Amino acid sequence: MPSRSGGPCQAPDDDNEDGICGFEGVCSTWYGKAGHQFCSSHRAAWTRWRKEGDTDADVEQPSYLTSMEDLLGTRFCEPSKMDAPARYNDIDKTELEFCVQGTFTVEGYVKGATDTRWQSLQQLSESCSRENFEELTKSYIKELQATFKRSAKRFKTAAQLARE
């Protein structure tokens, strides 16, 4: 394993007057990013730090949709977050979510940022007018139908399947 220089190690150390390990030498493995590095002998401290989170990092604050620009998709579920029984049984199709591209603003800030997120109908109804929603869904359905027609040409016809 290659060795590289790094440091100073940010792990807590009661033996050092600064309260941190401070190791800056060559080590086979350094964990973390510059400014918050941990030497290989303090991997457990690095793991704890990652679980607790960096206090200097930006804390993700709740944001709300202020301007809906495009509707990109819909879903009833997120398969990667489902447990096995939920995936293998019928899906409850009552909570439709929409993949929306738009401007999302954090509470207390004036300027928003363009982002793409999954939004429930409840979340959309709080920030989008009925006319805007109907216009975007019509456009989305039209594009979806065109995509299905193009994709259907890749399939074999029933007659071609019967011949094979």
pLDDT digits (tens, 9 = 90+) for 94-146: 888 999 998 888 777 778 888 888 888 888 888 888 998 899 899 999 999 99
Domain regions of the chain by residue span: 4-52, 63-152
Q: Distance between terminal CA atoms of the chain?
A: 56
pLDDT tens-digit series, residues 1-33: 445 566 677 677 766 666 677 667 665 555 566
**Residue range 36-56: mean pLDDT, rounded:** 61
Instruction: Report CA 152 to chain centroid distance, whole Å.
Output: 31
Contact 66, 124 (CB under 8 A): no
pLDDT tens-digit series, residues 49-92: 666 654 444 445 567 788 888 889 998 888 888 888 888 888 88
The verdict on pTM exceeding 0.75 is no
Which one-letter amino acid corresponds to residue 47? Answer: T
Tokens representing 123 are: 């979340």
pLDDT of residue 147: 93
Q: What are phi and psi of 104, to 5 degrees?
A: -110, 135
